[in-house]
């Protein structure tokens, strides 16, 4: 009996599709790390978030340092004051716990709405659970941004542009790179409606902080936000300050390994052209597989070409890698490479690969970005070559948003 259990379940791919295991790991690991944070009083990021609300309420500059309250500075838009408000008014420990678990639940819900087979949704949760824990330990908003991008994609597929734009613009008003979800515009069947909702939700989110502040403070805060982002971008690429926690990107790898003075434009401009070049295949727009390739590409691109990317930002890129894997034929080469990409991305900053490996190899050279960069390159090749979603082999019939991808493990 025990041998059959081991043979048929524990050592089979079915373990990756176990819903109970997926839920336990997804919520359990993040719950564990928030307890650690509370016990060690590592709540600095959440305290920063709280003061976005209180400083907006009191009309105090959102982007100056306040060392008497917290380290570092706020880099979130004025609209974030509305997002964080329900958590900011709670006692510190309770608010922090509620914030983290709300993000965990939100991204879990976004995964559940993806147009892929149910078993692969469970696998995605298992694959990304450790990276979600990493994001939770930093009390970061990246899971919220990732969830918004996934929901934007899901609702475009369902032809519900009003909600697609709600989540895409929500992400954009929290972190600028959330606007990458606007690329899903090409998959909308009602593009004029898409544009209308873009302006509608932009106006709503821009003006929303007026509920707790006034017009003059709000407009000045948007100007201050822009200036703060420029200052932060300059700090991210300055290797002289010894900060190895930002710029975990393609530019960061090149800067740290090859050419410290490289201008980001020489990397970003070709990268944007390559990203947009994937959208020139109009005949594939109705294919769900092609759309999922684009989703993967957007999730990864958003992270690996941002100088503000940190280790917890990869909760956005890792689902892109995993969705790419779902779309592949499970050859030995694919399995080996995906195992490398998964382990290196999600465990390179953990003690599993030893503190020495992290501090002397991964961090100094921003190598956490390497697997994501390779996968993005592979996606470019597969999209432009047509491999993986040719009409003969992978065409989906009927309404694309109702079709589910099924793959043999």
pLDDT band at 345 (very low <50, low <70, confident <90, very high): very high
Supply the pLDDT for residue 99. Answer: 98
Other CB atoms within a 10 A radius of the CB of residue 243 amount to 12
Supply the pLDDT for residue 335. Answer: 93
Supply the pLDDT for residue 401. Answer: 37
Structure tokens at 223: 């100007």
Q: Find tokens 């570092």 and name the residue.
A: 72
Q: pLDDT higher for 336 or 394?
A: 336
Supply the pLDDT for residue 239. Answer: 79
Alpha-carbon dihedral sign for residues 316, 322, 325, 326: negative
Between CA 369 and CA 304 the distance in angstroms is 6
**Cα→Cα distances 75→54, 63, 107, 219, 348, Å:** 15, 7, 22, 16, 26
Supply the pLDDT for residue 392. Answer: 43
Structure tokens at 127: 């694959």
Supply the pLDDT for residue 113. Answer: 97
Other CB atoms within a 10 A radius of the CB of residue 355 amount to 10
Supply the pLDDT for residue 400. Answer: 35
340 pLDDT above the threshold of 90: yes
- What number is the average pLDDT over the span 331-340? 94
260 pLDDT above the threshold of 80: yes
Q: pLDDT higher for 359 or 6?
A: 359
Give the list of residues 6+ apart from residue 244 with CB closer than 8 angstroms, or none.
Answer: 363, 364, 366
Supply the pLDDT for residue 389. Answer: 64
Q: What pTM value is reported for the model?
A: 0.91
210 pLDDT above the threshold of 90: yes
Among 4-18, 132-146, 297-311, the minimum mean pLDDT is found in 4-18
pLDDT band at 5 (very low <50, low <70, confident <90, very high): very low
pLDDT band at 402 (very low <50, low <70, confident <90, very high): very low
404 pLDDT above the threshold of 90: no
- Written as one string, the DSSP assignment of 27-69 is HHHHHHHHHHHHHHT--HHHHHHHHHHHHHHTT--TTS--TTT
Supply the pLDDT for residue 302. Answer: 97
Structure tokens at 136: 């939770």
3-state secondary structure of 405: strand
Structure tokens at 265: 């434009």
Q: Find tokens 């997926």 and name the residue.
A: 22
Between CA 223 and CA 240 the distance in angstroms is 28
- What number is the average pLDDT over the span 383-401? 54
399 pLDDT above the threshold of 80: no
- What number is the average pLDDT over the span 267-275? 96
Between CA 172 and CA 164 the distance in angstroms is 12
Output the average pLDDT for the chain.
90
- Taking only the tens place, the pLDDT of each residue in 351-372 is 787 788 888 999 999 999 999 9
Check: CB of residue 33 under 8 Å from CB of residue 96: no
Supply the pLDDT for residue 291. Answer: 96
Supply the pLDDT for residue 7. Answer: 42
pLDDT band at 390 (very low <50, low <70, confident <90, very high): low
Between CA 249 and CA 301 the distance in angstroms is 10
How many residues comprise the chain?
409
- What number is the average pLDDT over the span 157-166? 96
- Taking only the tens place, the pLDDT of each residue in 131-145 is 999 999 999 999 999
């Amino acid at each position: 009996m025990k041998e059959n259990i081991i043979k048929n379940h524990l050592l089979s791919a079915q373990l990756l599709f176990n819903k109970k295991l997926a839920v336990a790991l997804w919520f359990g690991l993040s719950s564990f790390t928030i307890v650690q944070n509370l016990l060690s009083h590592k709540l600095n990021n959440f305290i920063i978030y709280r003061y976005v609300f209180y400083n907006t309420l009191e009309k105090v500059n959102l982007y100056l340092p306040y060392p008497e309250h917290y380290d570092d500075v706020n880099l979130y838009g004025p609209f974030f004051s509305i997002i964080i408000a329900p958590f900011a008014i709670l006692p510190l420990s309770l608010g922090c716990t509620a914030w983290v678990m709300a993000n965990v639940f939100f991204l879990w819900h976004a995964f559940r709405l993806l147009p892929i087979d149910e078993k692969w949704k469970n696998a995605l949760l298992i694959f990304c659970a450790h990276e979600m824990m990493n994001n939770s330990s930093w009390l970061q908003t990246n899971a919220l941004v990732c969830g918004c991008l996934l929901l934007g994609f899901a609702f475009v597929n369902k032809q519900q542009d009003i909600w697609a734009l709600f989540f895409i613009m929500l992400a954009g008003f929290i972190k600028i790179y959330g606007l990458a979800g606007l690329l899903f515009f090409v998959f909308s069947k009602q593009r004029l409606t898409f544009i209308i909702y873009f302006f509608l939700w932009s106006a709503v989110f821009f003006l929303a902080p007026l509920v707790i502040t006034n017009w003059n403070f709000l407009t000045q805060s948007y100007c201050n936000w822009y200036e703060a982002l420029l200052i932060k971008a300059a700090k991210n690429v300055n290797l002289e300050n010894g900060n190895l926690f930002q710029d975990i990107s393609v530019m960061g790898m090149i800067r740290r390994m090859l050419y410290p003075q490289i201008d980001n434009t020489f990397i970003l401009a070709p990268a944007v052209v390559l990203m947009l070049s994937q959208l020139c295949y109009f005949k594939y727009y109705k294919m769900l597989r092609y759309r999922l390739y684009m989703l993967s590409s957007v999730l990864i691109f958003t992270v690996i070409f941002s100088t503000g990317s940190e280790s917890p930002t990869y909760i956005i890129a890792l689902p892109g890698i995993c969705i790419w894997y779902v779309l592949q034929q499970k050859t030995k080469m694919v399995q080996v490479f995906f195992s490398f990409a998964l382990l290196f991305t999600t465990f390179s900053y953990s003690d599993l690969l030893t503190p020495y490996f992290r501090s002397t190899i991964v961090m100094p050279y921003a190598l956490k970005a390497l697997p994501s960069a390779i996968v993005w390159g592979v996606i470019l090749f597969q999209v432009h070559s047509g491999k993986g979603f040719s009409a003969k082999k992978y065409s989906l019939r009927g309404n694309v948003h109702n079709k589910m991808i099924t793959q043999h493990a």
